[in-house]
């Protein structure tokens, strides 16, 4: 009996000793999906994932200032590429393709949206720090929506845009398609004809060197299981 107890204790101790922790910075639009991915990864490996979130621009600035992140899940391709050029990241790859949509209180289309937004409030993320906000400005240009004709509500990230709409503080909102299940928006206009899919790249940061948990999560994000979860959340997956 004692021998079995000792053997079991050694096994448990070995598992605990092997488990590690990685800190992942996640763009606001991908937060819910990242939490789902982290939960599955933790159950499979025993490693722990600590998530912090915000706009892509804010997270990039924090990384440059020395924030202790191991992996960065951006909502664009520019900032991960910049981090690699700066020597702050060792690897970069695309993990998801986002889709911008316009939610509203009543149905609209390309022919009627200009008249519909006149005098109304339209929420979007700050295009200087949020890729979904930048995509929204592109869509507005293509749709010929003049900001002088409506009341823009500018917030820090696309997660806050959804909150503004759900709480009734905006009549229209430019959000990620991945947010739709939680929003229960009365009407949705797909903007695929007006803005390209938003390529979201990930960066394995220099700080992750020697962190087995970070390397394991980075590799796991490229797995079929992770790709399935990403697709189920409303994103395109690389190679799909």
What does each C-alpha distance from 165 to 12, 143, 193, 196 come to in angstroms? 48, 21, 23, 23
166 labelled as ligand-binding?
no
The answer to the question of whether 229 is labelled as a binding residue is no
Angle at 80 between CA 125 and CA 189, to 5 degrees: 35
Residues contributing to the annotated binding site: 56, 158
Residues contributing to the annotated binding site for molybdate: 56, 158
């Amino acid at each position: 009996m004692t021998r079995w107890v000792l053997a079991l204790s050694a096994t448990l101790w070995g598992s605990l000793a092997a488990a590690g922790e990685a800190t992942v910075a996640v763009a606001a639009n991908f937060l819910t999906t990242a939490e789902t991915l982290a939960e599955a990864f933790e159950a499979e490996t025993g490693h722990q994932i600590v998530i912090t979130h915000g706009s892509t621009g804010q997270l990039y600035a924090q990384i440059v200032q020395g924030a202790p992140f191991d992996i960065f899940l951006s909502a664009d391709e520019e900032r991960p590429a910049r981090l690699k050029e700066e020597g702050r990241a060792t690897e970069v790859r695309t993990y998801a393709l986002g889709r911008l949509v316009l939610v509203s209180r009543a149905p609209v289309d390309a022919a009627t949206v200009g008249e519909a937004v006149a005098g109304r409030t339209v929420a979007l993320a700050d295009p200087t720090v949020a890729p979904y906000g930048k995509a929204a400005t592109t869509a507005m240009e293509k749709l010929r929506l003049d900001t002088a004709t409506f009341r823009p509500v500018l917030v820090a990230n696309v997660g806050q845009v959804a909150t503004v709409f759900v709480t009734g503080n905006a009549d229209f909102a430019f959000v990620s398609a991945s947010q739709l299940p939680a929003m229960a928006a009365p009407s949705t206009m797909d903007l695929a004809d007006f803005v390209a899919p938003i390529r979201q790249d990930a960066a394995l940061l220099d700080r992750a060197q020697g962190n087995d948990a970070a390397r394991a999560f980075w590799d796991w994000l490229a797995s079929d299981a992770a790709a399935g979860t990403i697709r189920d959340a409303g994103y395109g997956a690389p190679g799909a």
